[in-house]
Amino acid sequence: MNKSFIDSHAHIYLKDFSNQLGAIIDNSINNNVEKILMPNINLKTVNPMKKLSLKYEGRCFSMLGLHPCYVEGNYEKEINEIFDFFDSKVIAIGEIGLDYYQSEKTFTNQLRAFELQCEFAIDKKLPIVIHTRNSIDESINVIKRYSNKNITGVFHCFTGNLKQANQIIDLGFKIGVGGILTFKNSDLKNVISKIDLSSILLETDSPYLSPEPKRGKVNEPSNIKYVAEKLSEILSVPIELVAKVTSQNVNNLFDLSS
Ligand SMILES: [Zn+2]
């Protein structure tokens, strides 16, 4: 069995990487990362992301969306301008969702921006990639309202409890697992140990949340192996099986054929 991974969530188009992008990609290839999925952040990141997906066609894939931390007063206009870049190469709508770590004043706009983008995804029959910091229950409630509309996707960087994980899985969504799984003080291990591998996507969230033993450094897709190793240990399955099933899960959720 070969051991190749897909990083389902990495912002490698950000300036953090611009000088050493070639090395980051080479490093990912040398560490069996076959594909990298890139969630967008705001209007400014669309062009660098698209450029990267053209340069590394078949390896790096683009999404479109406005990240909840970047929802401002003019969010409707910005979302429309982002979606003007829509084409057949876009694999998902993301990164969208709710960040309730932000000021409460932004919550109403965040929610409306999230709903608008869910509706766009439903219209385009694309999966969504959701950010749910301090807002898992609220995000689940939004998805429930669209559950008769064939909406699907992933709760990226999941840190919730088992009840929330099961609700997400029942809604037909996947659980995105990254570096936090390797943190000693995190309870996530106990939750993930009770979840079937068929519901899990691996991710790095580069440049954020580097796994142990790289914690505190700039994260990059090659570090996905540390998350996979931890998952293999927690679920008591071979790492080759982790690689195979999580890659299948990504390919079932996203159309990476183009
Ligand atoms: Zn992200």
pLDDT tens digits along 158-207: 999 999 999 999 999 999 999 999 999 999 999 999 999 999 999 999 99
Of all residues in the chain, the percent with pLDDT exceeding 90 is: 97
Ligand 1 mean position to 70 CA, how many Å? 12
Ligand 1 mean position to 1 CA, how many Å? 30
Ligand 1 mean position to 156 CA, how many Å? 8
Task: Tell me the residue type at 55.
Answer: K
- Own/partner contacts of 137-142, CB < 8 Å, gap of 24 or more, are 137/164, 138/98, 138/100, 138/111, 139/97, 139/98, 139/114, 140/164, 140/167, 140/168, 140/171, 142/98, 142/111, 142/114, 142/115, 142/118
Provide the H-helix boundaries in 107-238. 107-124, 136-145, 162-170, 188-192, 224-235
DSSP result, 71-86: --TTHHHHHHHHHTT-
- Residue 141's contacts (CB-CB under 8 Å, 6 or more residues apart) are none
pLDDT tens digits along 64-116: 999 999 999 999 999 999 999 999 999 999 999 999 999 999 999 999 999 99
CATH of 5-253, one of 3.30.460.80, 3.30.70.20, 3.20.20.140, 2.60.40.10: 3.20.20.140
Q: Is 155 strand, coil or helix?
A: strand
Judge whether residue 19 has pLDDT over 90. Answer: no
Instruction: Give the max Cα distance, the chain.
Output: 51
Give strand pairing partners of 7: 36
Ligand 1 mean position to 230 CA, how many Å? 21
Residue in this structure with the two tokens 């766009």, named with its chain if needed:
120
